[in-house]
Amino acid sequence: MSWINVCEETRLPIGTGVAAWVAGKAVAIFNLGQDGLYAIDNVDPATGVSVLARGLICEMDGELCVASPLYKQHYRLKTGVCIEDTSLIASPFDIKTEQGQVLVLAKV
């Protein structure tokens, strides 16, 4: 497992998601400014389609989530677990910034 340099921090807009390639996998990255930086699998587990970075960011009962743009299931940004169906998980990635660069921990 190694940290992969994805892009410069300034390229992440605040409040919306972007997708990035991390060791052959599409990862959805969400920059919520003072509320943190999150990364989960970009593939929507309900459909198998790579779209979660394009979802709306929501707060559901105090937890940050992204609503899938396809059928609106909510995935928790911290754990990737779906609120409506806990058997659906968009697996989370570790993410950090170092010297203005965004780094994601690859799973291979």
Q: Which of 1, 10, 24, 108 binds another protein (CB under 8 A)?
A: 24
Residue 28 burial (CB count, 10 A)? 27
Closest CA to 41 of 49, 3, 87: 49
- Per-residue x/- marks for another protein, 51-90, CB under 8 A? x--xxxxxxxxx-x--x-xxxx-x--------xxx-----
29 contact partners, CB below 8 Å, separation of at least 6? 6, 12, 17, 18, 19, 20, 37, 38, 39, 53, 95, 102, 104
* Shortest separation between residue 59's beta carbon and another protein, angstroms: 4
Distance of alpha carbon 38 from alpha carbon 47, whole angstroms? 21
* Shortest separation between residue 92's beta carbon and another protein, angstroms: 18
* Shortest separation between residue 91's beta carbon and another protein, angstroms: 18
Site residues, another protein (CB under 8 A): 6-7, 11-13, 15-16, 18-22, 24, 26, 29, 32, 35, 47-51, 54-62, 64, 67, 69-72, 74, 83-85
